[in-house]
Structure 1
Amino acid sequence: MATISQAAVKQDLYDAVNGDWLKTAEIPDDHASTGGFMDLVDAIEKTLMHDFDAMAAGETAPNDPQLAEFIKFYQLTKDFKQRNAAGANPILPCLKQIDSLSDFADLQQRMPDWLYDGLPLPFSLDVDADMKNTKVNALFAQAPNTILPDKTYYDDGNESGPKLLAVYGQMMTQLLQLTGYKEVEAQQIVADTLKFDRLIVPWVKSAEEAADYSKMYNPRAFKDFANDSKYLDLAAITYSVINGNPETVILPEPAFFDHFNEVVNPENFEMMKNWMKAKLVQRLSGYLSDEMRTLGTTYSRTLSGQKQPRNQAKSAYYLAAGAFDQVVGLYYGHTYFGEAAKADVHQMVEKMIGVYKRRLEANTWLSADTRAKAVTKLNNLGIQVGYPDKLEAVYTKFHTLSAADGGSVLSNVLAFGRIARKDMFAKWGQPTDRTRWEMSADTVNAYYHPFMNIIVFPAAILQAPFYSLAQSSSANYGGIGAVIAHEISHAFDNNGALFDEFGNLHNWWTEADSAHFKELAKAMITEFDGLEFAGAKVNGTLTVSENIADAGGLSCAEEAAKNEADVDLSAFFTNWAMVWRMKATKQYMQLLLSIDVHAPAKLRANVQPKNLDDFYTTFDITPEDPMYLAPDQRVKIW
């Protein structure tokens, strides 16, 4: 690893490490950003496309039946000659269904099929772990998404909102015309869509509000939920997809259902139908002709500042891999990661848990009772590394219908989605599966699941610069060590701390400990809140859970690095800053500031080291240096 200038670190750690790279790095036209994470994504994309293209061409053979079904589907997504010839035809039956709706009684009758097919509706049902009894799957009812990425975009003072809606309106008018609507009809559909969208906005949460997991748990008696609509029989709709009689429904956005009749009523029926059409066309445009695929990305690209849509080859790969994500992930894990690396990283995770456990046991601000329960939670933490032990059974039901047999990209996607949703609804009232992966192994990321109390590290992130046998132990701890400890820390951030060792939403804190923790969390909010970035400001409340996890992760990883014989804290902090290197469009950075629970990458790299005393001695940072933070302002939680 290159030596960095101590004088430069005193000014700005991130720039000292990444300055030369930032001068030359270019954002590809089909990206909104480039950098540490994205470089890995691009490399994996290139590797897997090479392998799957060879299989699709018949040069090599898939080694299992599910991979063979994926390759058949990949051949369909790659066949743009056939896709272009079909044009919008594959979507027309779905649009005709919406067009032919006469009233709510008619919608009621078709609702079960539409829930299974995932067609746009003014609410949705899904099944997930009951947050207060996570051994069992519960029923959730969800509000629809708004067109703009966050409700704050609809505020009067937000200049981006109207501009983005204009782009959306123009894109949808053109897309609807490609499906056969006349221009005046398309314009009316768009106008109604924007009106109906506005009706939803007051009753859904902002990203900041949604970042508080405890506020997701709003159980409503099923009989009361059934009475939330005057015009749809919500009980009958539920019974049509759930095999049994739920006592409660969990509502992450209860205000929407409190005001359901103001949004979903006969007066708004035609408006709602048009909203459903626009939603459908936008959602499914990527599965149709190349013209519709590229046009359908206009709004999202404007939002992120991405100059060009993905080319045909990449879009075909991502479309196919999205439908068979766990199949692709298992192939990647077995082929490019393997059992030896899986065991090695598993040991590293256990080592980091050991560091965290010692810190908890030595903690001075928690009472003995709370400390003991925190250690119990840590002892029950599930670890998933690399890739799952087995493929989910639902993928064995995915059978691709070839073009010769009348199949299209869209018809297959709808069939796969129907199978997956039937499988999901069948899990209601059944035991949860704590071994289930919610990320595929080829995903460059990691996560902590508070309802399951598990940490998951997909194979894709377990490579340089995060982890490599060619790097020093300190560099590895500054990379993957900090990522591992970050995910462990999520078990004890402002959200994770609300859940016990079984993942249940249950207060295991004493009142005094909880109050003290909240004060420490407030200090973390203050440390980030209002920091200027990309012409806007960081929301400390939105990003607090990730900042707490970053702080705990970096601190614990540093302790682990110091326990090694070859400790080199300069390499530790250098690699920490290197993994966060990122160059992004201004639009993308501002979008993330509005909706992302993570602070901007540069600030993650720069702010957290300032909280660690060793950072100052490692680089001889003094009160005169810009990277200095007074000891009484350094936030230390875990």
Structure 2
Amino acid sequence: MNKLLIGGLCATMIAGLSACNDEAKVNTAAAAAPAQQTQAATAVKAALTSGIDFANFDKSVRPQDDFYDYVNGGWIKKTEIPADRTSVGAFYDLREKSKSDIKAIIEDVAAKTDLKAGTDEQKVADLYRSYMDTATLDKLGITPLKPELAKIDAIKSTDELVAYFGESQIIGGGTPLAFFIDIDSKDSSRYATHLWQYGLSLPERDYYFNDAERFVKIREQFVQHMINMFKLAGWDKPRKSAEAIMKLETAIAKAHWDVVASRDSTKTYNKYALADLQTLAPEINWNSYLQALGADKQPDIIVSQPSFITDLGKLIKDTDIATWKTYLRWHLLTNFAGDLGSDFDKENFDFFARKLNGQEEPEPRWKRGVSKVNNLLGEVVGKVYVKRHFTPEAKARMEQLVENLRQAYADSIDELDWMTPETKAAAKAKLAKFNPKIGYPNKWEDYSKLTIAADDLVGNEMRAGQVEHQKSLDKLGGPIDRDEWHMTPQTVNAYYNPTMNEIVFPAAILQPPFFNMAADSAVNYGGIGAVIGHEMGHGFDDQGAKYDGDGNMRDWWTKADLDAFHAKTEALVAQYNGFFVYPDLHVNGELTLGENIGDLSGVTIAYKAYKKSLNGKEAPEIEGLTGDQRFFMGFAQIWRGKFKEEAVRNRVATDPHSPAKFRALGSLENMPQFYTTFDVKPGDGMYIEPAKRVKIW
């Protein structure tokens, strides 16, 4: 990614004018002759907006008590969640816009009558048609699954069973093991094979064991859902089959590591020579499994949860083949339920969307069709998306913001009072190696080997799985692909990849309220600046800090610094454990620790970068707000959201991100600058005494 302006360059431009920030233009005008000064300043101010949506405020709430509700409460009160959604808000509304934008692209392509077979345009048009042609799907029903069901029926031994685990994963069926290929965390110059625990239908292991009434009801509904699905498929003994699957999945869930242990990079890095896999689970014919995946020639494999593999081996030995075959049929059926016609689609929605997440109605078919195209041919439509919706000016301004944040992060590291010079130098070396990717890939994905047919939706999905699996296999033994993206340009999100030490910002998130080309810099630093800082923060969160600037997991800390860091992260865990979403449900501070560090670091560094961008001058007052007020309001409004209770409860159990409200409040309550800006004092709802505030980066 090209490196452009850093914050310090602004002051060196002729006459102080540059594209670095709008405030520079305002302050340059103020240096003109008195008669010209007022006219120039007025003209510049008129061209700026605050970027703050005052209609969303709830002025009955004091900002000192609940800044999130102060900025977003009016919107929350007047906004209803549509029946086809479980959430609305800044992120979710942009995702809806992205779907509409992609729909327009797909329809433009599909309207053409001269599409040549094998072209990207033909594939987009026919994939969408294959999903939208519900008459054909209703007619076919379960027929497209019959070849795979026949393979399951033919399984006669545990060796054949574990081999089919590999085959099933490739085409999108069911398996208790997840195999994948990714960069080796301790040798970032090579790709390695990995194993991860898998195999559950319900969101997380606790759903199988929690005795609270809600979970008991979900388990009962799940069994009934399986019975209903088996009846639709015309299979014998639906209740007996459903109960057998529930028993087996409960045993698999018992073997699963919990969500906190599974996010620990150290615990989940366990490299085994292939021959040594037998010591973990001698009941599993690993050669058969890996041959089915095409990965039996590798020298080693990284096992994320070794005890799970051991327990799975025992389960394979102790569970009869007939039950495993029923399990495989179920997962094949449920994974493709949305592609098998209206009856299966409705039943699948009724349990997983309505009962589990509170969604009242399915999304319109076209939205789900767009998601299908995004999943299978994302970068094909992504190429058109960026031409229509992402300007070179936006990319340049984002590159500038990234470099400003990088410099502010470096300054903040220098100023830390708890870190020794030795560790500071290593941290800054890592920061300097961050690779930002903005908007879209330099090299687009090749879909030439994927065959798409307008009348074969299930086949399209299975062939896509096979093509993607082969692409992964082809990485083994080769150089690291530095141009690869793990999100499409039309994705409203961002990410940090520790083994590549890269921060990635797809085009679709670079829109208001995150990134507003018409607004002054304060709201953009509070919005997308905090997002940039958040992703940088992941490089220094409780897991990212285990990786160096080259993407290798190694210890680059002094012991004293690491102890001090852990003390600060433990304090942050305690703070978030004290946030109650509902009277009976609090945030899981351990599960969300990495994201909470990212949020706190992100807004802290974004504020520092914003102040640095002013070059020592005061920000102009715009729409009655100071620059600092606009910054914090810009941050709070990006977390605007409203959610179904069922969806929130599921997310608290499984999602490493805190609920939106606490992503805003938890960070701001720790920032002294917020206290000064809004005069937060003892007794106010957001007040934390100084000694208990957490400052990490």
Structures share a fold, TM > 0.5?
Answer: yes
- Letter paired with 2:412: R
For 1:96, the equivalent position in structure 2 comes to 150
Q: Deviations over 1:562-588 (max 9, x none)?
A: 232536111111111111011101111
Equivalenced residue count is 631
Q: What does residue 374 of structure 1 align with? A: 427
Which residue in 1 is equivalent to 2:600?
A: 551
C-alpha change, 1:363 and 1:277, in structure 2 (3 Å) is: same
Once the two structures are TM-superposed, the CA of residue 51 in structure 1 deviates from its matched residue by 2.7
Query: The residue matched to 1:207 in structure 2 has which SS?
Result: coil
CA contact (8 A) 1:55 1:62 kept: no
Query: Residue 632 of structure 2 is aligned with which of 573, 578, 589?
Result: 573
1: CA distance, partners of 2:648 / 2:61? 28
Answer whether contact 1:116 1:422 (CA < 8 A) is retained: no
* C-alpha spacing 1:633/1:61, structure 2 compared with 1 (3 Å): farther
The code of the aligned residue for 1:345 comes to M
Letter in 2 for 1:548: I
CA deviations on 1:462-517 (whole Å, 9 max, x unpaired) are 00000112122111111000000111011111111000111111010011111110
Shift of 1:297: 2.2
Q: Are the counterparts in 2 of residues 243 and 426 from structure 1 also a CA contact under 8 Å?
A: no
Do structure 1's residue 326 and structure 2's residue 385 form an aligned pair?
no
1:259 matches 2:311? yes
Match of 1:342 in 2: 395
Write out aligned runs for 1:583-622 (5 A).
583-622=642-681
- d(CA) in 1 for partners of 2:598, 2:176: 36
Distance (Å, rounded) in 2 between the aligned partners of 1:352 and 1:106:
54
Given that residues 120 and 276 in structure 1 are in contact (C-alpha distance below 8 angstroms), is that contact kept between their aligned partners in structure 2?
Answer: yes
Please, which moves more after superposition, 532-541 or 144-153? 144-153
- 1:452 aligns with 500
Q: Where does residue 523 of structure 2 map in the other structure? A: 475
Q: Does 1:58 align with 2:112?
A: yes
Residues 422-478 of structure 1 show CA distances to partners (whole Å, capped at 9, x for unaligned) of: 221232233222321001111111111111110000001100000112122111111
Q: Deviations over 1:494-549 (max 9, x none)?
A: 11100011111101001111111000111111111132113411111111111111
Q: Give me the whole-angstrom Cα distance separating, in 1, the residues matched to 2:352 and 2:442.
A: 36
Q: Which SS does the other structure have where 2:568 is aligned?
A: helix
Q: Report the residue type matching 2:192 in the other structure.
A: A
Partners of 1:169 and 1:190 within 8 A in 2: yes
Residues 69, 409 of structure 1: alpha-carbon distance in 2 compared, 3 angstrom cutoff: same
Q: What are the equivalent positions in structure 2 for 1:269-288 lying under 5 Å apart?
A: 269-288=321-340
Deviates more, 1:448-457 or 1:558-567: 558-567
Contact 1:448 1:488 in 2 (8 A): yes
User: Conserved in 1, the CA contact under 8 Å of 2:440 and 2:489?
Assistant: yes
Determine if the alignment matches structure 1 residue 77 to structure 2 residue 131. yes
Output the CA distance in 1 between the equivalents of 2:464 and 2:311: 33
2:546 corresponds, among 498, 501, 509, to 498
CA offsets 1:336-390 (integer angstroms, 9 cap, x no match)? 1133322221121111111111111232221111111111101111110001112
Please list, as runs of the form range in 1=range in 2, the aligned pairs for 1:521-536 lying within 5 A after superposition: 521-535=569-583, 536=585
Q: 1:523 to 1:60 in 2, by over 3 A?
A: farther
Contact 2:128 2:373 in 1 (8 A): yes
Q: Does 1:160 align with 2:214?
A: yes
> Per the alignment, in what secondary structure is the counterpart of residue 385 of structure 1?
strand
CA distance in 1, matches of 2:115, 2:389: 17
**Cα deviation code 1:173-211 (max 9, x no counterpart):** 2222222214xx222221111111112122211112222
Give, in angstroms, the shift of residue 402 of structure 1: 3.4
Does 2:203 correspond to 1:149?
Answer: yes
Tell me by how many angstroms 1:61 deviates.
Answer: 7.7
Return the letter of the residue paired with 1:223.
A
- Normalised to the residue count of structure 1, the TM-score between the two structures is 0.94
Partner of 1:121: 175
Q: Structure 1 CA distance, aligned partners of 2:379 and 2:659?
A: 29
Offset of 1:244 from its aligned partner?
A: 6.3
Change (3 A) 1:579 1:232: same
Counterpart position of 1:177: 231
Q: Secondary structure at the match of 2:448?
A: helix
Q: Which has the larger radius of gyration?
A: 2
Q: Once the 2 structures are TM-superposed, how far is the Cα of residue 214 of structure 1 from its aligned partner?
A: 2.2
Change (3 A) 1:116 1:526: closer
Change in Cα spacing, 1:59 to 1:18, as seen in structure 2 (3 Å) is: farther
Looking at structure 1, the residues matched to 119 and 369 of structure 2 have their Cα atoms a distance apart, in angstroms, of 21
Q: Is the 8 A contact 2:669 2:686 kept in 1?
A: yes
Mark the CA change 1:481 to 1:110 in structure 2 (over 3 Å): closer, same or farther: closer
User: Contact 2:105–2:381 (CA<8 Å) still a contact in 1?
Assistant: no
Q: How many Å separate the matches in 2 of 1:352 and 1:387?
A: 20
**Bigger shift: 96-105 or 441-450?**
96-105
- The residue type paired with residue 444 of structure 2 is L
Q: Distance in 2 between matches of 1:359 and 1:493?
A: 15
Q: Letter of the aligned partner of 1:186 in structure 2?
A: P
1:389 paired with 2:448, answer: no
Equivalent position amino acid for 2:290 in 1: T
For 1:511 and 1:207, locate their aligned partners in 2 and report how far apart those are by CA, in whole Å: 27
Q: Deviations over 1:91-133 (max 9, x none)?
A: 2222222123222244366566445434323324221111100
Q: Which amino acid aligns with 1:191?
A: E
Aligned to 1:510: 558
Residue 218 of structure 1, aligned match among 267, 270, 273: 270
1:54 and 1:60 in contact (8 A); partners too = no
For 1:398, which of 436, 450, 460 is the aligned residue?
450
Distance in 1 separating the partners of 2:696 and 2:399: 26
Match of 2:415 in 1: 362
Give matches, 1:218-237, under 5 Å: 218-237=270-289
SS in 2 for 1:264: helix
In 2, distance between residues paired with 1:243 and 1:312?
A: 38
SS of the equivalent of 2:112 reads: coil
Further displaced range: 82-91 or 130-139: 82-91
AA of the residue aligned to 2:450: F
Q: Distance in 1 between matches of 2:113 and 2:515?
A: 33
After superposition, what is the alpha-carbon deviation per residue over 1:194-235, rounded to whole angstroms, capped at 9, x for unaligned? 111112122211112222222221112221214544444212
Cα distance, 1:618 vs structure 2: 1.2
One-letter amino acid matched to 1:89:
T
Q: Deviations over 1:255-310 (max 9, x none)?
A: 11122332112643211111111111000111121221222122221221111122
**Aligned-residue offset at 1:616:** 1.6
Listed as ranges, the gaps of 5+ residues in structure 1 are none
Residue identity opposite 1:317 in structure 2 = V
- Tell me the equivalent position of 1:247: 299
Of 80, 83, 86, which aligns to 1:26?
80
What is the alpha-carbon distance in structure 2 between the residues aligned to residue 23 and residue 570 of structure 1?
23
Q: Give the match's secondary structure for 1:397.
A: coil
Q: Distance in 2 between matches of 1:604 and 1:230?
A: 45
**SS of residue matched to 1:265:** helix
Q: RMSD between aligned alpha carbons?
A: 2.2
**Under a length normalisation based on structure 2, what TM-score does the superposition of the two structures give?**
0.87
Structure-2 separation of matches of 1:156 and 1:112: 31
Q: Which deviates further from its counterpart, 408-417 or 85-94?
A: 85-94
What is the deviation of 1:72? 1.7
Letter in 1 for 2:411: R
Partners in 2 of 1:506 and 1:398 — Cα distance?
39
C-alpha contact 1:77 1:317 (8 A) present in aligned 2: no
